[in-house]
Structure 1
Amino acid sequence: MSVGAARAFFTDSHVHALLLVERGVLVSVVERDDLDGRPDSDRARTAGRLTGRVAGPGDDLEATRAAMAAAGRRRLAVVDATGALLGLLCLKRHGRGFCSAVDVAAREADRAGTRAG
């Protein structure tokens, strides 16, 4: 994926991170600011990084939540020891908890209703 394509991905203000995966392994987490000053033709994976943007499945959730809230980070990819992508931790806007599948579905339904109205 190119930086230009990544910029298009981030046109939705609700999108916080672009996870780039090759053969099931997370190779880069790109955030909107990572693209600043880069030509559209660059590879998006070179703009992002993994350091500070991933968690392990055995990490302490409360410590992870507190660190995310303190850093203003809303998303962390969850990877195993081989780098395989297992999921995504999504911190609620207020920073006091994580989003659930029910939360995400409700938000999508609200947005769909707003677009339809």
Structure 2
Amino acid sequence: MTGAVPSPDLPADVARAAAVGDAMIRAPKTLPPTATVGEVRRFFEDDHVHAALVVDDGRLLAVVERADLAESIPPERSAAGIGRLEGRTVAPDAALVPVWDRMRDEGRRRLAVVDERGRCLGLLCLKRSGRGFCSDDDVEDRRREREGR
């Protein structure tokens, strides 16, 4: 931050974390480079999923969002071919507050976190309320709920 005073409505988890890497989910669900559009459509059946990360040997190839999945795209088409990286990634050392502001301004809920070599390190997940970020514990709690534990 460039000397600006943080907003008084700044969520505690955002205020505590200096960088994106402090707030990201460290083990997001990913899809292999062979993933198809049909597989991504099934992936998005979970309403918590807002971005499909297509990864090859740790390297992020594409981020696919629901808006990328036009009805006219055949289900057998490569998912990596319809996604993109531009505007959908962030570095782990990026200052969190400006990224939070940008995500809220753009209505963006997910950003893939990548290093300088394009390696996928995690996923920054803005909560539906816009008042903070999902944690690894939140993801684990949802998984347990789905499994009925």
So what's the TM-score if we normalise by structure 1?
A: 0.88
Following superposition, the deviation at residue 81 of structure 1 comes to 0.4
Whether 1:54 aligns to 2:95 is: no
Whether 1:35 aligns to 2:78 is: no
Following superposition, the deviation at residue 35 of structure 1 comes to 1.1
Residue of 37, 48, 65 corresponding to 1:3:
37
Detail structure 1 runs of 4+ shifted over 4 Å in the superposition: none
Following superposition, the deviation at residue 102 of structure 1 comes to 2.4
Identity fraction in percent:
52
Per-residue displacement from partner, 1:21-62 (whole Å, max 9, x unpaired)?
112110000011211131112111111100111000111101
Secondary structure at 1:67's aligned position in 2? helix
Alignment length (residue pairs): 114
Whether 1:16 aligns to 2:39 is: no
**What one-letter code is carried by the residue in structure 1 that aligns with 2:108?**
R
Q: Please, which runs of 5 or more residues in structure 2 have no aligned partner?
A: 1-34
| Mapping 1:30-109, distance limit 5 Å | 30-36=64-70, 37-109=72-144
**What one-letter code is carried by the residue in structure 2 that aligns with 1:91?**
L
CA RMSD of aligned residues (A): 1.5
Q: Provide the C-alpha distance between the structure 1 equivalents of 2:114 and 2:47, rounded to a whole number of angstroms.
A: 25
Q: Higher helix share goes to which structure?
A: 1
